[in-house]
Amino acid sequence: MNHPNLLAPGRIGSMTLRNRILMCPMGDNQATSGGYVTDQQIDYFEARARGGAALLIVGSVGVTAPDGLSSPRQSAIGDDSYTPGWRRLADRVHEHGARVALQLVHNGKNAVEDIIAARPLWVPSLPDEPLQADPLMGMLTPEEANEMGTPAQVKGAAVIFQEMTHEHIADMVAAYVEAVVRAQEAGIDACELHAGHGYLIDNFLSPTTNHRRDEYGGCLENRARFLIEILEAIRARVGPDYPVWCRINGGEVLIDGETLEDACRVAELAEAAGADAVHVSLYANPSMGIGFTEAHATHIPGRFLELGAAVKKRVGIPVITVGRLSPDEAERALADGKADFVAMGRKLLADPDLPNKLAAGAPETVRPCMYHYRCISQIFVRSNVRCAVNAMTGFESTRKIERASVSKRILVVGGGPAGMEAARLGVLRGHQVVLVEAGSRLGGRFVLAAATAEPNAELLAWFEGEMARGGIDVRLDTRFGVESIVDAGFDEIVIATGGRWDRPEIPGADDARVATVDELGAWLAEGRSDSEAGRTFVLLGGDRAGLALATVARARGADVEVLESTEVFAASNGLVGRWRYVHDARESGIRLQGGARVHGIVEEGVRWTDRDGAERVSPADRILVCGGARSDPSLAEALRARDVKLHAIGDCVAVGLVEGAMQTAAEVMLTL
Ligand SMILES: Cc1cc2nc3c(=O)[nH]c(=O)nc-3n(C[C@H](O)[C@H](O)[C@H](O)COP(=O)(O)O)c2cc1C
Ligand code: SF4
């Protein structure tokens, strides 16, 4: 599909835009600890400006810094000292023909940094009893739990709520106005008020957090008063021409809160108060693990589209839609008049060049997001943004794909994600690359992953396409051992032969019912919706592969149980994604058993001990070994024993799956 609507120029207020693709506001935690713009941040935004997006919206810029922030390296614009940094960022973005806006925020009841510093949390009204936290949200690896910490338990921390008085409200309105003035002075093209996602303005808008009895609480018009006063004060100060709009929730889900009708009415009021556009997202009960993938960074394709379309029927200003929209869906949404602009987040983390690639008529060259959720989970663990499929994201300053001074002949052994990424980067750097793969197709074990989930299949197709487009000399069905590698005489050798997924060393492991991941190719390729009906599957290992295969078996009608030795399923996913995948598995009827110690395979099935020490036997017609993956450095070690200089990447060094493959390939290939 061509994308004429998506690529057509547009306008928000006085601001002209070269196309309809905006980069979503995404807190990136790349600022300094004081919230000042860093070179890394500028390079990160420059990459997206160069890639062709019309407007980049910097996510969650604190208007009252150091107060009112939720993350340690969140961006800020709390006083004039922030202006030079924003000017540098704006200048760099402008060099590439893009525009830049700041999403202005006070994080309200979610201002974690205020808890840590024992400063009051600004709220419209004192909260009810805290919402019951979903136990699923406690499913964290020890590292994540450590990094997230419990802010209230930091020494000296305190949760103090400050119900805002009229004076506080007036001060806060002024803070937003000053922030806009500073942004304008810095050459920032526009500002978006963050009026969604449970932050301060939204705390006023939502009946779940606003219980005031004065003119700022009660009916929708009252709850919207704070937002409208901010908009009117901004307009009074900067005049009609400076583009300002707000991002609102199209509703709240999993909780009885804001409705779509509320959103439509807020949009009407915002338009009347001078907003130049409205950006329609969604919010969900924040105490639910799936809340973040239900709304906010939705897992559901096109989740917010109809919400934006409903708002659009009520206003004359442009509507910005968002939420897991592919370029084709985005094009259709614009053609159908459901929105005027489409904001994209994760797609531009995965591939900053998406807009240019569409403009070049080459959508197949866009690197797809695999919905792994490293990006947003990094923010949860108070670290900076990264991407599982793009090792440059978050590292733009230090990892640059530049032409090598000497073009070398490079041999890459192994055609899985690590090998393919190494080959791709090698060619981009001007090297001549030969990629040898023992199997009859590219992808390694990722071929199996691709059979379990569409985003994986898209990523595999992209990899294969890149090999062809890069003119890489790929040799399938070619097994290179030590001698052939030595004899071939390449300048550099990259070993990417993957890890091992062996049978566990337990009695009965060679039972005919047992299959390892490597033995599942035909099963994955042949199944139908009911092909496993009436059969019982037990999966050993509940990381992402285990959950994905369990989902396939369940979808084919099997009764499925997953035994995992730790208490964390889908541990290799970012935590937000894990909560989604675990929830979905449970919802589909898969039994997840954490803390399970497997002892052996017996005639009746799998013998194991549960977390309470009780002996159990799970009946099983099929037993899939999905855990116990380990690195396999055998070829690399054999070469080193012959004093051959080499670089080992991917699972053969340490099991890191696609994400590890991308990271290690980049680390090596950018130095050769
Ligand atoms: C890493 C990350 C950080 C985010 N931070 C913010 C934020 O600061 N403000 C905001 O309004 N939304 C934030 N979001 C939500 C996105 O703006 C967007 O609504 C969401 O990712 C859905 O769009 P997508 O499917 O194109 O990624 C964030 C999302 C991600 C992935
Ligand atoms: S980390 Fe995962 S979800 Fe986020 S942009 Fe990258 S591939 Fe997509």
Q: pLDDT tens, 604-641?
A: 999 999 999 999 999 999 999 998 899 999 999 999 99
User: If you take atom 1 of ligand 1, which residue's CA is the nearest one?
Assistant: 376
Residue with tokens 């890639």: 51
What percentage of the chain reaches a pLDDT higher than 70?
99
CA distance 248 to 205: 9
User: If you take atom 23 of ligand 1, which residue's CA is the nearest one?
Assistant: 323
Vertex 347: Cα angle to 344 and 349 (nearest 5): 105
- Residue 143 pLDDT class (50, 70, 90 cuts): confident
Gap from CA of 473 to ligand 1 centroid (Å): 39
Gap from CA of 385 to ligand 1 centroid (Å): 11
Gap from CA of 250 to ligand 1 centroid (Å): 15
Task: Assess whether the C-beta atom of 169 lies below 6 angstroms from ligand 2.
Answer: no
Which ligand places an atom closest to the C-alpha of 662? 2
Task: Assess whether the C-beta atom of 387 lies below 6 angstroms from ligand 2.
Answer: yes
Among candidate residues 310, 639, 278, 359, the one with its CA nearest the CA of residue 493:
639
How high is the pLDDT of residue 422? 98
Decide if pLDDT at 73 tops 90.
yes
CA distance 452 to 552: 6
DSSP E strands: which ranges in 84-214?
99-105, 120-123, 160-163, 190-195
Amino acid identity at 335: A
Task: Assess whether the C-beta atom of 374 lies below 6 angstroms from ligand 2.
Answer: yes
Task: Assess whether the C-beta atom of 576 lies below 6 angstroms from ligand 2.
Answer: no
Mean pLDDT of 180-184: 98
Q: b vs e for 451-483, b when ≥16 Cβ sit within 10 Å of the residue's Cβ?
A: bbbebbbbbbebbbebbeebebebeeeeebeee
CA distance 397 to 83: 21
Residue with tokens 């900067």: 238
Mean pLDDT of 54-75: 96
Domains and CATH numbers, the chain: 10-380 (3.20.20.70), 409-499+634-669 (3.40.50.720), 514-625 (3.50.50.60)
How high is the pLDDT of residue 347? 98
Task: Assess whether the C-beta atom of 332 lies below 6 angstroms from ligand 2.
Answer: no
8 A C-beta contact, residue 353 and residue 623: no
Task: Assess whether the C-beta atom of 346 lies below 6 angstroms from ligand 2.
Answer: yes
Secondary structure of residue 239 in the 3-state scheme:
coil
Tokens standing for residue 477: 């069905």
Decide if pLDDT at 152 tops 70.
no
Tokens standing for residue 8: 């057509």
Decide if pLDDT at 129 tops 90.
no
Q: How far apart are the first and last CA of the chain?
A: 38
Tokens standing for residue 559: 């009764």
Amino acid identity at 314: R
Task: Assess whether the C-beta atom of 662 lies below 6 angstroms from ligand 2.
Answer: no
Task: Assess whether the C-beta atom of 250 lies below 6 angstroms from ligand 1.
Answer: no
User: If you take atom 5 of ligand 2, which residue's CA is the nearest one?
Assistant: 346
How high is the pLDDT of residue 147? 82
User: If you take atom 2 of ligand 2, which residue's CA is the nearest one?
Assistant: 372
8 A C-beta contact, residue 490 and residue 434: yes
How high is the pLDDT of residue 86? 98
CA distance 538 to 551: 12
Decide if pLDDT at 571 tops 80.
yes
What percentage of the chain reaches a pLDDT higher than 90?
92
| 265 CB neighbour count, 10 Å cutoff | 18
Mean pLDDT of 520-532: 89
Gap from CA of 324 to ligand 2 centroid (Å): 11
pLDDT tens sequence across 85-98: 999 999 999 999 99
Long-range (24+ apart) CB contacts under 8 A made by 587-592 are: 588/551, 588/554, 588/555, 589/554, 589/559, 589/560, 590/547, 590/550, 590/551, 590/554, 590/560, 590/561, 590/562, 591/560, 591/561, 591/562, 592/542, 592/561, 592/562, 592/564
Mean pLDDT of 134-159: 83
Closest ligand 2 atom to residue 390 Cα is 6
Which ligand places an atom closest to the C-alpha of 298? 1
pLDDT tens sequence across 100-111: 999 999 999 999
Task: Assess whether the C-beta atom of 297 lies below 6 angstroms from ligand 1.
Answer: yes
Tokens standing for residue 492: 């550099």
Among candidate residues 163, 262, 173, the one with its CA nearest the CA of residue 214:
163
Q: Which of 293, 346, 579 to mutate to test the pocket of ligand 2 (most atoms within 8 A of CB)?
A: 346
Secondary structure of residue 3 in the 3-state scheme:
coil
Task: Assess whether the C-beta atom of 342 lies below 6 angstroms from ligand 1.
Answer: no
Which ligand places an atom closest to the C-alpha of 351? 2
8 A C-beta contact, residue 648 and residue 633: yes
Among candidate residues 45, 7, 9, 350, the one with its CA nearest the CA of residue 188:
45
User: If you take atom 11 of ligand 1, which residue's CA is the nearest one?
Assistant: 25
How high is the pLDDT of residue 150? 67
| 361 CB neighbour count, 10 Å cutoff | 10
8 A C-beta contact, residue 522 and residue 560: no
Secondary structure of residue 548 in the 3-state scheme:
helix
Among candidate residues 573, 655, 110, 665, the one with its CA nearest the CA of residue 375:
573
Q: Where are the alpha helices (DSSP H) in 188-259?
A: 200-205, 220-223, 225-238
Instruction: List, in order, residues 6 or more apart from 487 with CB less than 8 Å away.
Output: none
8 A C-beta contact, residue 450 and residue 417: no
Task: Assess whether the C-beta atom of 388 lies below 6 angstroms from ligand 2.
Answer: yes
8 A C-beta contact, residue 652 and residue 500: no
Enclosing H/E stretch for 608: strand 605-609
Closest ligand 2 atom to residue 376 Cα is 4
CA distance 656 to 653: 9
CA distance 422 to 406: 17
| 527 CB neighbour count, 10 Å cutoff | 17
Lowest mean pLDDT segment, chosen from 140-144, 177-181, 650-654 = 140-144
User: If you take atom 31 of ligand 1, which residue's CA is the nearest one?
Assistant: 376
- Residue 302 pLDDT class (50, 70, 90 cuts): very high
Closest ligand 1 atom to residue 197 Cα is 11
Gap from CA of 346 to ligand 1 centroid (Å): 8
Closest ligand 1 atom to residue 385 Cα is 1
Task: Assess whether the C-beta atom of 372 lies below 6 angstroms from ligand 1.
Answer: no
The residues that bridge with 321 in the sheet, in sequence order, are: 342
- Residue 529 pLDDT class (50, 70, 90 cuts): confident
pLDDT tens sequence across 13-44: 999 999 999 999 999 999 999 999 999 999 99
Gap from CA of 616 to ligand 2 centroid (Å): 38
8 A C-beta contact, residue 447 and residue 460: yes
Tokens standing for residue 7: 């690529």
Task: Assess whether the C-beta atom of 25 lies below 6 angstroms from ligand 1.
Answer: yes
Which ligand places an atom closest to the C-alpha of 378? 1
What single DSSP character describes residue 411?
E
User: If you take atom 5 of ligand 1, which residue's CA is the nearest one?
Assistant: 26
User: If you take atom 8 of ligand 2, which residue's CA is the nearest one?
Assistant: 369
To 10 degrees, what angle do helices 657-669 and 417-428 make? 30
Which ligand places an atom closest to the C-alpha of 28? 1
CA distance 362 to 354: 9
Closest ligand 1 atom to residue 194 Cα is 11
Closest ligand 1 atom to residue 24 Cα is 17
Closest ligand 1 atom to residue 373 Cα is 31
Task: Assess whether the C-beta atom of 389 lies below 6 angstroms from ligand 2.
Answer: yes
Q: Where are the alpha helices (DSSP H) in 381-453?
A: 417-428, 446-452
Decide if pLDDT at 507 tops 90.
yes
Instruction: List, in order, residues 6 or more apart from 378 with CB less than 8 Å away.
Output: 29, 384, 385, 386, 394, 574
Gap from CA of 522 to ligand 1 centroid (Å): 38
Residue with tokens 């396409």: 465
User: If you take atom 10 of ligand 1, which residue's CA is the nearest one?
Assistant: 25
Secondary structure of residue 321 in the 3-state scheme:
strand
Decide if pLDDT at 131 tops 80.
no
Tokens standing for residue 100: 């830049």
CA distance 551 to 562: 10
Task: Assess whether the C-beta atom of 305 lies below 6 angstroms from ligand 1.
Answer: no
pLDDT tens sequence across 336-351: 999 999 999 999 999 9
How high is the pLDDT of residue 272? 98
Query: How high does pLDDT run on average in the chain?
Result: 95
CA distance 651 to 635: 13
pTM of the model: 0.97
Gap from CA of 368 to ligand 2 centroid (Å): 9
Which ligand places an atom closest to the C-alpha of 329? 1
| 522 CB neighbour count, 10 Å cutoff | 8
Closest ligand 1 atom to residue 379 Cα is 1
Enclosing H/E stretch for 625: strand 622-625
